[in-house]
Amino acid sequence: MSAHTPHDQAGFPAHGWGRAIVTALAGLIAMGVTAALGLWAAGAADLPEGAFPRVVAATVVTAVGGTVELVGDAGGLAETDAGLTVTPLSVALVGALVVGAGFLWPLRHRAVAGVAELAGWAARIAVVWLLGLLGLSFAARQTFKVSLGDGTLSDLGDLFDVGPEVGFRTDVALTVAVGLLWLAGVLVLALLVARGAPLPARLLRFQEPVRPSAHAMTVLLLVCVALGAVVALVVAATRGQAAETLAVILLGLPNLVWLAFTVGLGATWDGRVEGPFGLPMPHVLDEVLRGKDTARLDLGALAAYDGRVWWLVVVDAVLLLGAGFLMAAHSPPDMPAWRHALHMAVALVLTVLMICLAGRVSAHYGLSVLGLGDLGGNLSGRLFLRPRLWSALGLAALWGLVTGFLGGLLASLVRRRAAPPPLR
């Protein structure tokens, strides 16, 4: 009996160019819709000069790791300075899920796939993805005029005919390069995470040590996002501000919940907010970060404003124990608990590293006319958030060892109780 489906026998492969176009475009469209709804909820639809579609394009570009440069032109008598580094992880997560599902769909019901087959299928998606990134990169550019407000700066602007402008544009080459790397990472992770996805015969020996831990970490991150969404919806229903909450969910929910996850592990972030930045984050974070000096963001600092923050430790412990059990349950039954601990530690360290790298935030802007303002005052602002990386990774390793070991013991206990009694 032939293993080929009638679709394959007719000469139409399940992963040809048509499906590649659908997969890549579905990912980009899903990201664009998510970004558009989030920006609309945040009030960006009212931007002047029809800039909303271009801002949406720029948001999708940053979600795949692309670079959007802030530019300014205030004439010869003025100076502008601006910069922005942030990843809207909600948009990135939606795109990764859609593209990953589209990549795996034609490979379902397969036990093994050749390297050439997988590479060819990924290359087709990459070509379409490349064209989409180019279109978004050229579309993501816009310039706005900036009001100098009232007072001395406004008078000088009128006197010397200074009309400052700020805007953004995309570094096309860097965006395309990083965007392709982002796609490659998504496709590789899709193969590692999906327990039923086929692997090349040469890589089957890596299936047992890698796939259970990758699957467990993915479930852990998605559960964190789901819990965060539930909390956000409850807050919106009880305290109002539905539009702001929707904007946070659609643009930066993983940024917040994964940050909270690392803080629950004991990690420390350094940050500061100054100027009229409107932050899409809980009030307690804004209170801690908005000060004269660099703020230390950890359990102690947050608990000084809200003691309920200590529940993050309990939630993290439960989630990690569940992830450790899930990893052990999908591993070979004869694997000792100490190996589960090592696998969990490595997987959690890599997961926290990803969160620390993707969760960094940096933004600043300023305007000076004839040296007045010194790129400061009401026309300036600064925001940054960065982790203390090595301590975060060390804590992740410790948590991974403990919860991986306990998860392995729990899985062994469940297997023994579920096993049928021996025959007499």
pLDDT tens, position by position, 264-310: 999 999 988 776 555 556 667 777 777 667 788 899 888 888 888 89
Q: Give pLDDT, residue 28.
A: 96
* Cβ count within 10 A of residue 232: 19
pLDDT tens, position by position, 233-252: 888 888 777 888 888 899 98
Give mean pLDDT, residues 164-178. Answer: 81
Q: Give pLDDT, residue 82.
A: 56
Q: Is pLDDT larger for residue 201 or for residue 423?
A: 201
pLDDT band at 122 (very low <50, low <70, confident <90, very high): very high
Please state the separation of Cα 320 from the chain's center in Å: 20
Q: Is pLDDT larger for residue 372 or for residue 259?
A: 259
Q: Give pLDDT, residue 176.
A: 92
Q: Give pLDDT, residue 158.
A: 43
Check whether 139 has a pLDDT greater than 60: yes
Q: How far apart are CA 275 and CA 60, in angstroms?
A: 26
CA dihedral (310, 315, 321, 327) positive or negative = negative
Check whether 366 has a pLDDT greater than 60: no
Pairing of strands 361-369, 381-387: antiparallel
Q: How far apart are CA 198 and CA 207, in angstroms?
A: 10
CA distances from 216 to 16, 192, 229, 250, 352 (A): 31, 11, 20, 24, 14
pLDDT band at 162 (very low <50, low <70, confident <90, very high): very low
Mean pLDDT score of the chain, rounded to an integer?
Answer: 81
Q: Is pLDDT larger for residue 95 or for residue 116?
A: 95
Give mean pLDDT, residues 209-225. Answer: 93
Residue 424: partners with Cβ closer than 8 Å, 6 or more residues away: none
pLDDT band at 73 (very low <50, low <70, confident <90, very high): low
Tell me the percentage of the chain whose pLDDT exceeds 70. Answer: 79
Q: Please say whether the beta carbons of 174 and 134 come within 8 A.
A: no
Q: Give pLDDT, residue 202.
A: 77
Check whether 378 has a pLDDT greater than 70: no
Residue 251: partners with Cβ closer than 8 Å, 6 or more residues away: 35, 38, 39, 42, 59, 88, 90, 91, 280
Check whether 205 has a pLDDT greater than 90: no
Q: Give pLDDT, residue 3.
A: 43
Structure tokens at 328: 């052990």
In the chain, the N- to C-terminal Cα span, in Å, equals 42
